[in-house]
Every structure is written in structure tokens, then in C-alpha cells.
């Protein structure tokens, strides 16, 4: 790593005329215990001009490093120190630094920062406060909006959107590839309740309609998983006489006991997300009940938190 040696002799500190003490390695001034080397080490070699000045460098010293190409401009007032690679981490950190105070990493780049994607996208998305005028910069997409406190956290020194809203926004960015990302996230990193709550906090914002459609699709898939879980529970309990996909009154029932006229449905999250689908589900239940069937409804939470109670309730209904 190339730095100017500002000491009079190696390892001999001195004052720089502004009341700051240069560190022993010549890596910048110490101000409140934070040196230029400390900043570069924790920020993958990236530093903002304001950061350098707050750490004790004069404006002339910063410009001197630039003239000698010890530091290389990445964005206006954001630099990469010599000896550091311009890798994905440096690129993402530089974008957030350039966006300024209050900037929050979001979208696909935030998903990568959380470890939910293999690579960040070519364009790094950042969110800045709504009152700030939008800025344009190649390789950086700036969104002006106010995020809820629960949608922002700090990770490795960078303000980044929390996982639930990150998953949704990254899925929207990916377009056709958004569904698989959302599925993986729901299986490994976030719960559906948290993602749905984040979606509700940002209804009407750009991309929220697409995010809603992705959530409905994911809910359908989660309902199918819940139905398979119920089938396994019935098999393990020794229950007999049930059938999957049984037709009643022109509708297919997820699981039915025809002899006892008991119909069982497992609600997915789509029931909560899509008003038209909820009305359709209700019409189906009314039609089935109109044929003299008893309809039992269970959720994923029912199946996972009280499986014995679910089986007991079904047994009582079948016994009549």
C-alpha cells in the first residue's frame, strides 16, 4: 500500500501544524483514535474526502495523494487507496459513500451484502432521504424515499436495508429471476410474516405492485408445501379414507374425507394478499358447505405449532 511518509523519520511522530499527530506508519492523522489506515482497513481501501479530513488530513494533503496517484478517484470525493483491489466490496462501499449522509444500500446490492446473492448487480442501488434532490452517477441508482426505522440496520459499517425489504426489492430488480430468489430467502433467511409486513409498509412505492405479485406466487407455493405436510401428518397418524384433490360442487378440495363429507383446506398467505382470491376461496367454501360438507381450515402455523390438535380436530369431524 503506497502512502506518503509524513514523519520526519520512520517511526517518529510529529505534529502537522493543525494539532494532529501523524501515526507511526505514515498512514494519516490520528483524530480521536481513528487513523487513515484504520478507515482504509475497514472499508476495503475506500475513503471519502470528508472522512479523510475528519481523521486529520488537510485538503492539500488529500489533493497531494491524488496528484501522486496514491489515491484514485472512484466517484466525486470518494477514493481508492493504492495497494487495494477495486473489487465488489470496494465498488459497493464507494457508491454508498458517494451518496452521502443518510444513504442506505438497498436492492440486489443489499442482498449481496447480506450474503443472499453471489454477486452484486452492475448498478448499485442506494436510498437517500426524500428531501434530498436526486443525483445521477454511472453505476449507481439513487432512490429518494424515507425508510421506516425497522427497515434499516448497519452491517459491516454500511447502512443497509433489513433482510425482509431487501428480499422484496432484490426480487423486483431481478425480474424473471425474482421468484427463485424470494423462494430461497423464505426457506433460509426470512419469514413470510416479516416480508409481508415490509411490503405493507411500502405499498404504493415503485415496484410494490410487482413485489405483491411475487408474494402471491410464493404464497401459492407455500400452501402446496403445507398441504404436503398435512398429508404426511395424516399418514403418520394412521388415518384412512381421505383423498387429495377431490371434486365437490364443481371445485377441487385440497383434501377430503368423502364418506364423512369433511373437506379440509390449508390457507396460504395468498389468502391475505389477494382480495379477489380471498373472495374466490370464500365462494368455493360456501358452495361446498351448501352440498352438506363440513369445511375445516388450517394454516401453516396450525400445522407446525399444534399438529396433534389439528389431527384430533380432523378425527372428531370425521367421526361425526
Domain assignments of the chain as residue spans, ordered by start:
21-81, 88-206, 222-319
Unique residue bearing C-alpha cell 502537522: 16
pLDDT along the chain (320 residues), means of 10: 30 34 34 79 97 95 97 98 97 97 96 95 96 89 94 97 96 85 83 88 88 80 79 94 92 92 78 58 85 89 86 94
Per-residue pLDDT tens over the stretch 129-181? 998 887 899 999 999 999 999 999 999 999 999 999 999 999 999 887 788 88
User: Which CATH superfamily is 222-319 part of?
Assistant: VSR Endonuclease (3.40.960.10)
Find out whether 116 and 170 touch, Cβ atoms under 8 Å: yes
Burial of 9 (0-12, 13-18, 19+ CB in 10 A): exposed
What is the rounded distance in angstroms from the CA atom of residue 38 to the CA atom of residue 26?
12
Per-residue pLDDT tens over the stretch 95-128? 999 999 999 999 999 999 999 999 999 999 999 9
Pairing type for strands 140-144 and 124-128 reads: parallel
Q: pTM for this structure?
A: 0.65
DSSP 129-157: -TTSPP--BTTEEEEE----GGGEEEETT
Amino acid at each position: 500500500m503506497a502512502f506518503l511518509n509524513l514523519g520526519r523519520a520512520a517511526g517518529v511522530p510529529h505534529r502537522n501544524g493543525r494539532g494532529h499527530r501523524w501515526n507511526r506508519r505514515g498512514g494519516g492523522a490520528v483524530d480521536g483514535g481513528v487513523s487513515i489506515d484504520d478507515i482504509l482497513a475497514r472499508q476495503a481501501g475506500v475513503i471519502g474526502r470528508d472522512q479523510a479530513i475528519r481523521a486529520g488530513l488537510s485538503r492539500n494533503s488529500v489533493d497531494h495523494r491524488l496528484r501522486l496517484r496514491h489515491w484514485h478517484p472512484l466517484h466525486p470525493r470518494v477514493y481508492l487507496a493504492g495497494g487495494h483491489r477495486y473489487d465488489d466490496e470496494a465498488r459497493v462501499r464507494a457508491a454508498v459513500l458517494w451518496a452521502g449522509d443518510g444513504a442506505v444500500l438497498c436492492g440486489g446490492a443489499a442482498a449481496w451484502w447480506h450474503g443472499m446473492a453471489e454477486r452484486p448487480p452492475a448498478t448499485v442501488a442506494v436510498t437517500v432521504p426524500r428531501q434530498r434532490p436526486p443525483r445521477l452517477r454511472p453505476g449507481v441508482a439513487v432512490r429518494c424515499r424515507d425508510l421506516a426505522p425497522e427497515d434499516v440496520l448497519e452491517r459491516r459499517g454500511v447502512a443497509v436495508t433489513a433482510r425482509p425489504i431487501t428480499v422484496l426489492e432484490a426480487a423486483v430488480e431481478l425480474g424473471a429471476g425474482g421468484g427463485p430468489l424470494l423462494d430461497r430467502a423464505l426457506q433460509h433467511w426470512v419469514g413470510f410474516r416479516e416480508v409481508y409486513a415490509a411490503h405493507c409498509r411500502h405499498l404504493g412505492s415503485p415496484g410494490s405492485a410487482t413485489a405483491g405479485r411475487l408474494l402471491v406466487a410464493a404464497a401459492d407455493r407455500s400452501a402446496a408445501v403445507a398441504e404436503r405436510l398435512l398429508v404426511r401428518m395424516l399418514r403418520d397418524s394412521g388415518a384412512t379414507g381421505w383423498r387429495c384433490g377431490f371434486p365437490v360442487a364443481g371445485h377441487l378440495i385440497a383434501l377430503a374425507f368423502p364418506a364423512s363429507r369433511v373437506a379440509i383446506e390449508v390457507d396460504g398467505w395468498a389468502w391475505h394478499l389477494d382480495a379477489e382470491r380471498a373472495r374466490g376461496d370464500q365462494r368455493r367454501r360456501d358452495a361446498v358447505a351448501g352440498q352438506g360438507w363440513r369445511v375445516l381450515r388450517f394454516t401453516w402455523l396450525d400445522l407446525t405449532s399444534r399438529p396433534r390438535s389439528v389431527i384430533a380436530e380432523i378425527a372428531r369431524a370425521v367421526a361425526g
